[in-house]
Amino acid sequence: MLLDGIQNYAIFMMDTQGRILSWNAGAERIKGYSSDQIIGHNFSCFFPPEDIKRGRPEEVLRITAASGRYEEQGMRMRKDGSRFLASVTFTALRDQAGNLRGFSEFSHDLSENKESGAKYRGLLEAAPDAMVVVNQAGEIVLLNVRAEKQFGYSRDELIGQQVKNIIPEGFAERLIADGTRSAAEALAQQIGTGIELIARRKDGSEFPIEIMLSPLGSAEGILVTAAIRDISTRQDAEAHLAQMEGRYRGLLEAAPDAMVVVNPAGEIVLLNVQAEKQFGYSRDELVGQQVKNIIPKGFAERLIADGTRSAAEALAQQIGTGIELNGRRRDGTEFPIEIMLSPLESAEGRYRGLLEAAPDAMVVVKPAGEIVLLNVQAEKQFGYHRDELVGQKVKNIIPQGFAERLIADGTRSAAEALAQQIGTGIELNGRRKDGSEFPIEIMLSPLESAEGVLVTAAIRNITERKKSEEHLVKTVGELKRSNDELQQFAYVSSHDLQEPLRMVTSYTQLLAGRYKGRLDSDADEFIAFAVDGCNRMQGLIKDLLAYSRAGTNGKVLREVSAENALKEALANLRATIDQSGAIVTHDALPAIRTDEMQLTQVFQNLVGNAIKYHRTEVPRVHVSATKNGGNEWAFSVRDNGLGIDPQYFDRIFILFQRLHGRDEFEGTGIGLAICKKILERLGGRIWVESQLEKGSTFYFALPETREK
Ligand code: ADP
C-alpha cells in the first residue's frame, strides 16, 4: 500500500532472471501494464527492441549484481509501444547469507519531472523552431510539436530513436568525444553556430536545415537541445539571388559603358570590365576604394545630403541627366566623361539598377530561347509589360536570327555557334506587341551560370540609323541619276552644237579668205575675231565632249603596256613637242590591267600641260612609275615648268578652273577634270606636288587588278 501511494515512481521487484514479481500503481501508470498483465513476464519488455537485441537487459542485471546498485537514464517502452526517457535505479536484493535473490527497480519518466520537465515542455512548444533534445547516446529524448510536423512523425515514433534517423549526418557526430577532446568540448565548439545540414522526413524526402545546439546540464548528464530550422525557402531565396546575380553580372559586363556602383560612403562596390579598361585599374584595385580616386570632382558630392535636402533627394535630382565630369586614369591622366546616375538598394536591386541604367534594351535568354530577364528599355521598345515577356520565347520579339544563333548545328556546338557571334553587331528585326517591326542591332555575350549558358543581348533600335542610311542611299541614287542626265545633256548639247558651229566656222573662214583686204581694216579685224572665237568654241566643244565621254564608254579592261599608252600620247602631241623643242623622257613603265584609250588620254593631258606651262628654258618632262604600297602603281609626270601655288592643288582638277588667262596660255580648264574623272572611274586617284617656279609633278595611281 505504501508503494502504491507513490504514483510518480514505478517500483517493482524481479527474480534473479528479471521476471517480475511485484508491481505498484506508479508502475502501472507509467508503463501501462496492470499487475495481472505483467507479473511473471521478464522486465526486458520495457526496453526498446534494439536494446533487447544487444542484450542490454541482461547486462544491466549483471552490472547491478556485481555492484549492488546501478543507475541510468535510458529509453524505455510503454505497453502501447511509445517510448520515454526514464531515470532508473536498480538494486540487487540479497539474503542474509549474501546470496542474490532478485532485483528491485525504481524508475520515473523524466519528462514528467515537475520542476524542470513542465517548464521545459512549455518552452519547447513555444519555440518557433522544431526542437529536439538528444542525449549523449544520440537518442531523442524530447521534442516539440513543430518537430513532429517538420519530420512527419508522431512524437512516440521519435522518442528513443536515434537522431540519425531524422538528421542522417553531422548531428550525432557532434555529440561524440574523440581522441583529442571530450564530448563536452566537442559540443562547446558548436554552440551558437548555425550548422547547415540535411534532414530526412518519415517519407524519406530530404530538406535543408540549420541547427543551433545548446547543452543542458541535467541530473541525467549532458543533454543537447537542438533548434532546427527548415531553410529550404531561404536556400531557394539564396539560390534565386545567386542566379539573379549571375544574370545581372552578365548584363553588367555586356553593357557598352563603364559602370560602377558606389555606396553612400562614396566607396566603389561593383564595376564592370569596361570600367577597368577606361580607368586602367584592375577590379581588385578599385573595389573598396573611394570613387574620388577615379572621378575626383562632382560625383561623391552628389551622393551627399545638405541642409535643404536628403541624400535621396539630392540623388533624385541627378537621375537620368548626363553630368559632364572628368575621369582620372591610374596613370594620372584625365579624360572627359559623361555620367548617368541611378540609385539602387538591395543586392538584387544593385544589379537591377545597373540593368535599368543601361541605355540599350537588354534581355537575358536561356539556351532554349526563353527570356529570363529584361530591362525597362526592352519593355518600352517592344511594347510589352515585363510579365508578358518573362518565360516567353525570344522569337516573339525577335522573329528571326536570334534563337537560331543559340543552336548547335551539324558542324558546330552551341557554344561555338555563339562564340562566333560575340561582340559583333548583328542586324535583325524586332517585333512589337502591336505586330509592327523595327530594325535592331544586337550584341550577344554568353554567361556561364548554374542554369547553363545564358545569353545576354543588348538590343539597339537602329530605326534612325537605318533611316539615315536609306536617305544616303536614296540621295546617292538621285545624285547619280542627275549626274547621268547632266552627262547626257553635256554630250547631246556639245554634239549637236558642233553642226551649226561647223557652218559658222566654214562661212567665217570663207569670208576671211575671200574678203580680206577688200573691206576696210575694221572689217578685217572683226572677221579675225570671229574666226578666233569659232576656233575656241570648237576646242571647247571637243573637250566637253571628251569630258562627258570620259569613263562612260564601257570600260575595256585589258592587260596593256603603259609604255605603249605613253608612246601613243606622245605621237598625238608630236606637233606641240616639235614646236616647243621639249625633251620628254621616261623610265620603264609596267604592264597594267586598265583601259588603254583612257590611259593614253591621261598621259596626253598631263604631258601636254607639262610642256604648255613652261618657263623660258626648254621644257623637260620625265615620266616614271613605282609600285606603291604593294597593290597599286603610282605614275608620275614631272616637269621643269611654272609650278603651282599649293593653295590651288585641289582647284585645278575642277571643270573650267584655270590658273592662267587665255592671253597667257590657250586652254579650256577641262583637261585635268577629264584626268580626274577617268582615274576615279578606274578606281584610281590623281594629285599634284609642286612649288611655284620649281616645276610640278603630277601623280596618278591605279590599282593593280588581276584578271578574275
Ligand atoms: P587647261 O590646261 O585647258 O587650262 P587643265 O585642266 O589641263 O586645263 O589645267 C587647269 C589649270 O591647271 C591650267 O589652266 C594651269 O593653270 C594649271 N596647270 C595644269 N598643269 C600644269 C603644269 N604642269 N604646270 C603648271 N600649271 C599647270
3-class secondary structure for 536-584?
HHHHHHHHHHHHHHCCCCCCCCEEEEHHHHHHHHHHHCHHHHHHHCCEE
Q: Which atom of ligand 1 is nearest to the CA of 543?
A: 3
Local confidence band at 369 (pLDDT 50, 70, 90 cut-offs): confident
Of the two residues 13 and 298, the one the predictor is more confident about is: 13
Q: Is the CB of 642 under 6 A from ligand 1?
A: yes
Which protein residue has the closest C-alpha to ligand 1 atom 7? 671
Q: How far is the CA of 589 from the centre of ligand 1 (A)?
A: 24
pLDDT value of position 318: 57
Q: Which atom of ligand 1 is nearest to the CA of 657?
A: 10
CB 541, CB 493: distance < 8 Å: no
| pLDDT higher than threshold 50 for residue 187 | yes
Q: Which three cell numbers stand for residue 669?
A: 580648264
Residue 708's CB: how many other CB atoms inside 10 A? 4
CA distance 611 to 573: 10
Evaluate: CB of 658 within 6 angstroms of ligand 1: yes
Quote the pLDDT of residue 116. Answer: 46
Residue 184: pLDDT band with limits 50, 70, 90: low
Query: Is residue 155's pLDDT more than 90?
Result: no
Contact 70, 90 (CB under 8 A): yes
Please work out whether the CB of residue 604 comes within 6 Å of at least one atom of ligand 1.
Answer: no
β-bridge mates for residue 199, sequence order:
207
The best mutation among 573, 611, 613, 690 to test binding of ligand 1, ranked by most ligand atoms within 8 Å of the C-beta, falls on 613
pLDDT-above-90 percentage for the chain: 29
User: Separation of 658 CA from ligand 1 center, angstroms?
Assistant: 6
Angle at 277 between CA 271 and CA 281, to 5 degrees: 70
- Of 536, 540, 580, 652, the one to substitute when testing ligand 1's pocket (max ligand atoms within 8 A of C-beta) is 652
- Whether ligand 1 lies within 6 angstroms of the CB of 653 is answered as no
38-96, pLDDT tens digit by residue? Answer: 999 999 999 988 889 989 999 999 999 988 888 887 888 999 888 888 888 899 998 88
Residues in the chain: 708
Position 606 pLDDT exceeds 90: yes
Ligand 1 centroid to Cα of residue 488, in Å, is 26
> Among residues 692, 680, 690, 691, which one has the least CA distance to residue 700?
680
Contact in structure between 599 and 565 (CB atoms under 8 Å): yes
- Asked if residue 189 has pLDDT above 70, the reply is no
**Mutate which of 620, 658, 690, 696 to test ligand 1's pocket (most atoms within 8 Å of Cβ)?**
658
Residue 673 CB neighbour total at 10 angstroms: 20
DSSP assignment, residue 291?
G
Which amino acid is residue 288, in one-letter code? Answer: G
Ligand 1 site, residue 174, Cβ cutoff 6 A: no
Reference 39, options 50, 51, 31; nearest CA is 31
Q: How far apart are CA 132 and CA 54, in angstroms?
A: 25
Whether the predicted model's global pTM rises above the 0.85 cut: no
Burial class of residue 511 in the structure, from the number of CB atoms within 10 Å of its CB (0-12 exposed, 13-18 middle, 19+ buried): middle
Strands 620-628 and 583-586, bridge-based pairing: parallel
- Going by alpha carbons, the residue nearest to atom 13 of ligand 1 is 658
Q: For ligand 1, what atom is nearest to the CA of residue 658?
A: 14
pLDDT band of residue 342 (cuts 50, 70, 90) is low
258 residue type, one letter: A
Half-sphere exposure of 280 (CA within 13 A, CB side): 12
Helix residue ranges per DSSP H, 101-213:
117-126, 145-151, 155-158, 183-188
Per-residue pLDDT tens digits for 621-653 = 999 999 877 789 999 999 999 999 999 999 999
Contact 198, 209 (CB under 8 A): yes
Residue 667 CA, closest ligand 1 atom number: 3
Our mutation pick for probing the ligand 1 site, out of 672, 675, 679, 689, counting the most ligand atoms within 8 A of Cβ, is 672
Q: How confident is the model at residue 149 (pLDDT cuts 50, 70, 90)?
A: confident
